[in-house]
Every structure is written in structure tokens, then in C-alpha cells.
Amino acid sequence: MSDFSHKPVLTGDRVVLRPFTEDDAATMAAIIEDPETSRLTGGAGRPPFTFAHLRHWYGSRGAQDDRLDLGLVDRASGGLVGELVLNEWDEPNRSCNFRVMIGPAGRDRGLGTEAIRLLLAYGFERLGLHRVHLGVYAFNPRALRVYERVGFVREGVERQALLHEGAWIDSIRMAILAPEWARHRGHTGTHTP
């Protein structure tokens, strides 16, 4: 693999991951501005993005060859409910960062779990990635459960990585490796309370 220039459409039972267009900016603005989304992604208190910036950002994702940004679509409604991203591409080590952002319309129905499995399958089986890593804030147990369920392993803690409403929040570092993915393909059976 030389880059992320190909932007696939990945279809699951309940979700579709597809390339962004500039027309997605309004929906993504609403997701980004949602208070719960903002809190869980560490965006609370940051200045809001302008609509022009978001329109340019989402309109330009297809031209990026060092990252893969895909919109998460709920097949039942046809609506865009979030995004999944592979970025911070380290080509020599076949490694990249993963992040996900899901708005209120996509939460608590298993859409994120299915979408993450689709993207990881593409990353490991089609792109030849060896390692995918992420950081998740400790006050997001729902995300921690999903990441563990699909095979991410806790590797460490970035202590007091986020100042949120006067409290310091840790960031938990997690990763999944290609040999692990090959064994379970995102179905570990891990269900943490």
C-alpha cells in the first residue's frame, strides 16, 4: 500500500461507510456541536468551526492520500450519523490512528460496532495495515466497551490528558494488531461492564 487515495464504499447489514462530500457539512456541524459528542471527543470549550471551514474540510477529504475519512450512514434511515477516520499514517510501520465520532441519531444501536468492524476489516485485509491505535477518554465507558469488543487491547494511560470542566481526565491508549484481527475478525466476545 502506498497511500489512502482510494475512498471505498463499505456496506454492512445496518451501516454504509462512504466518502464525504461538501454537502455533508451541515449534518456534520450538527453532530460536532452536539454537547455529548463534544464532551466525549474532548471538543468542549473549543471555538466552533465555521460552516465554510466544515464545507471545505468535508469536501476535501476525497483528495487526501494520507488518511481515510468515511461518513457513517444508517441504512435504515439513509441518514449520515457520524464519521470514522484512519489517519496519522506511518507508512514504514504500516500503522495508523483510528477515531470515530457518532452523533445522537447513531448511538446505542450497534451501528458504531458494525462500522468499526467494517473499517478494520478494510484496513487489515485490503490495505495491509499491521497496527491501528487510538486514544479514548476515561469518562467514555461506552466507547471502551465497544473497542474491547472489536479487539482493541489497552496498552497504557496518558495521565491527565484533558482538562474538562475543572477535572483532569486520563486518555486510555489502545491498539489492535493484524495477527489479532486475523484470529477474531472483531468478534472477541469481550463484554466489559
Convert the pLDDT of each residue in 127-138 to its tens digit. 999 999 999 999
Convert the pLDDT of each residue in 95-106 to its tens digit. 999 999 999 999
Cα torsion 178, 179, 185, 187: sign: negative
Q: What is the pTM of this model?
A: 0.93
Backbone angles phi, psi at 120, to 5 degrees: -65, -40
